[in-house]
Amino acid sequence: MGQEFESDRAIVTGGSRGIGWSVAEELVAQGARVLLVARHQDALKTRVDELNRRFPGQAFFYACDMGNQPACAQAVVQYALNTIGQPTLLLNGAGGASITNALDAPWSLWVDDFQVKFFGYLAMTRAVLPLMMQQRKGVIVNLVGIAGKDPNRNLPIASAINGALNGVMKVLADDVSAYGVRIINVNPGATETDLLETMAQATAKRSGDSVENVLKAMRARAPLGRLPSAADVAGVILFLMSHRAAFITGTSVDVDGGIHRGAF
């Protein structure tokens, strides 16, 4: 695809690992100037140093707590303006999925998870949209999750957050479509990242089974015979950010290997 994104300036939250890192790496390789955002400064610096050794001057980082909203989003966007320039791309990818059940999960966990992912995504989107609307171009991709369509009793908070994101991002996509700005949600299922290992450990602790057996069962449920990699999901996100997906907005795309059983 060459330098497909050389005129783009991208913000990637959750950019130090997993799917976010895969997207950031590909964007930089294809010419974009990219600001990686995550909580831990050391991990971000390591990633950005790696990118700048290969592509000098194209990658930057900003460490902040995505649960501290809207202050974090405002600081990220201001830093982006001072480094990469006006953002034309945003990947909202920060936040995990707590393994729990709806009745036992402490109230603080509900609040914390919503603050990081739902309000984190919403704050970042609201912070960049005026800049994209001013330029009359831009793409926002939200890394949501299949639990927003298939509520999971072991992921009640993520199911609620993802469902809420599907709703609000559809509304926002309608609001900005006349300005040439697109918003799309991407819904992975279980994906082969370090987060999968963390989720398997939590599931094993609750069930009394081994982590190895939990991972084996997760992989066995995949209709295609394997779980997607971070690169599998990143490839779809890069396509949706590209001009080839110029007529896709206000919808969600499942990247789960067919594990979602609904008709939509």
CATH of 9-191+228-255, one of 3.40.50.720, 3.40.718.10, 3.40.630.10, 3.40.190.10: 3.40.50.720
Q: Is the peptide bond before 70 cis (omega within 30 degrees of 0)?
A: yes
Does this model's pTM top 0.95? My answer is no
Q: How many whole angstroms separate alpha carbon 262 and alpha carbon 253? A: 13
- Distance between alpha carbon 100 and the CA centroid of its chain, in Å? 21
By the 8 A CB rule, do 167 and 123 touch?
no
Convert the pLDDT of each residue in 208-243 to its tens digit.
888 888 788 878 777 887 888 899 999 999 999 999
Mind giving me the DSSP string for 36-68? EEES-HHHHHHHHHHHHHHSTT-EEEEE--TTS
Domain residue spans in the chain? Answer: 9-191+228-255
Question: Residue type for 123, please?
Answer: A
Q: How far is Cα 142 from Cα 12, in angstroms, rounded to an integer? A: 10
pLDDT tens over the chain, length 264 residues = 458 999 999 999 999 999 999 999 999 999 999 999 999 999 999 999 999 999 999 999 999 999 999 999 999 999 999 999 999 999 999 988 888 889 999 999 999 999 999 999 999 999 999 999 999 999 999 999 988 888 888 899 999 999 999 999 999 999 999 999 999 999 987 777 777 777 788 788 888 888 888 788 878 777 887 888 899 999 999 999 999 999 999 999 999 888 776 655
The percent of the chain in helix, strand and coil, each rounded to the nearest 5, is: 50, 15, 35
Q: Residue 184, Cβ neighbours under 10 Å: how many?
A: 22
Q: Do the Cβ atoms of 143 and 14 come closer than 8 Å?
A: yes
The Cα 142–Cα 110 span in angstroms is: 20
